[in-house]
Amino acid sequence: MIPASFEYAVARDVADAIQLLGSSGGEGKVLAGGQSLIPLMKFRLAQPGLLVDINRVKGLSDIRENGELRIGALVREADLDMNAIVRERYPILVDTTRVIADPLVRNMATIGGNLAHADPANDHPATMLALRASVVARGPKGERVIPIDEFFVDTFTTVLAPDEILTEIRIPKRPAGGGGAYLKLERKVGDFAIAGVAAMVVMDEKGRIAAASIGVTNAGPTAIRARKAEDILRGQSPDDKTIAAAAAAAAGESKPWSDLRGPAEYKLDVIRVLTQRAIRKAVARATGGK
């Protein structure tokens, strides 16, 4: 399959990329890892007039932690997986990146693309909702920081303007007593999630859940936050009854659809079970376990 013809330009830096996008009359698309965009173009579901290749832009591929974790939008999934800070302190990100597509795709695919593509089946959105992340966007009017809760508008749609570029993901520093996990059920390696659940908890010194946040993959037109489940967990001990109640609430807040990956009813039960497991794993990690 061959994409429709398009114009191609290599951006020298972010400002250049913004200018190129602005000059395209809304026909431009950013080419980062290309692992979602190029298949869409081959199916001709996307026919951009101009591709702005940002792969040679410097300064978008760093991972740093000072005050917060900052991940450049162009960081490849394979590099996120191998990063020492991420491996030691943010295992939820390792959980997430390792279930995205397959190792070959992860050599190209970027974390920024996974978010900006805004596919509810993508895995980073739920994890970023659970991590209470922000994304940094740069456009002709300068830079803005967008809380992840406000980023996703609809399937394949974010609040990014056509000439704005996602440059960085900011994640609050892992607090003392904090832990998280992402679990995904997939039919095979490389498939999209039947369902996926990201859970983050902060435990207080009495062993209660001081704060919790839960994101769900493939549970609606965008990844969703299971706020009722979070409310149930807050202030409680992580006992079986509380976790079961939170998991039931998370399923109740989810709106999966029936497709080749299973009927909606089945997926709701998968979400319920994965939520329980993700909370347990998050609590275990928050209290020093793996």
Which residues here bind other proteins, judged by CB under 8 A? Answer: 1-10, 20, 31, 34-35, 38-39, 41-42, 50-51, 53, 55-56, 61, 78, 101-105, 107-108, 189-190
CB closer to other proteins out of 41 and 271:
41
Least Å from the CB of residue 1 to other proteins: 5
Task: Give least dist CB 167 to other proteins, A.
Answer: 17
Q: Return the amino acid letter for 240.
A: D
Q: Which two tokens stand for residue 87?
A: 């491996």
Which is nearer to other proteins, 76 or 124 (by Cβ)?
Answer: 76
When the beta carbons of 76 and 225 are compared against other proteins, the nearer one is: 76
Compute the distance between CA of residue 289 and CA of residue 136 in angstroms, rounded to an integer.
Answer: 32
Packed helices 240-253 and 264-286: angle between N→C axes, nearest 10 degrees: 140
**3-state class of 77 per DSSP?**
helix
Minimum distance from CB of 5 to other proteins (Å)?
6
Nearer to other proteins, 43 or 176 (CB): 43
**CA dist list (Å): 281 to 23, 91, 198, 238, 287:** 48, 11, 10, 11, 10
Q: How far is the CB of 78 from other proteins (least distance, A)?
A: 8
CA 60/CA 74 separation, integer angstroms: 5
Q: Give the full edge-to-edge strand order of the sheet including 195-203.
A: 178-185, 195-203, 209-217, 224-225
Give rounded-to-5 percent helix, strand, coil for the chain: 35, 25, 40
Tell me how far, at minimum, the Cβ of 157 lies from other proteins, in Å.
22
Beta-bridge partners for 184 = 196
Closest approach, Cβ 243 to other proteins, in A, equals 30
CB of 24 or CB of 276, closer to other proteins: 24
Quick one: 103 or 175, whose CB is closer to other proteins? 103
CB closer to other proteins out of 30 and 128: 30
- DSSP-assigned letter for residue 152: E
How is residue 213 written in tokens? 């946040």
Going 55 to 59 to 64 to 70, the CA torsion angle's sign is negative
Residue 55: count other Cβ atoms within 10 Å of its Cβ.
15
CA within 13 Å, CB half, 225:
17
Indicate the Cα dihedral angle 26, 28, 33, 38, nearest 10°: 100
Nearer to other proteins, 4 or 153 (CB): 4
CB of 109 to other proteins, least distance (A): 10
Shortest distance, CB of residue 106 to other proteins, whole angstroms?
Answer: 8
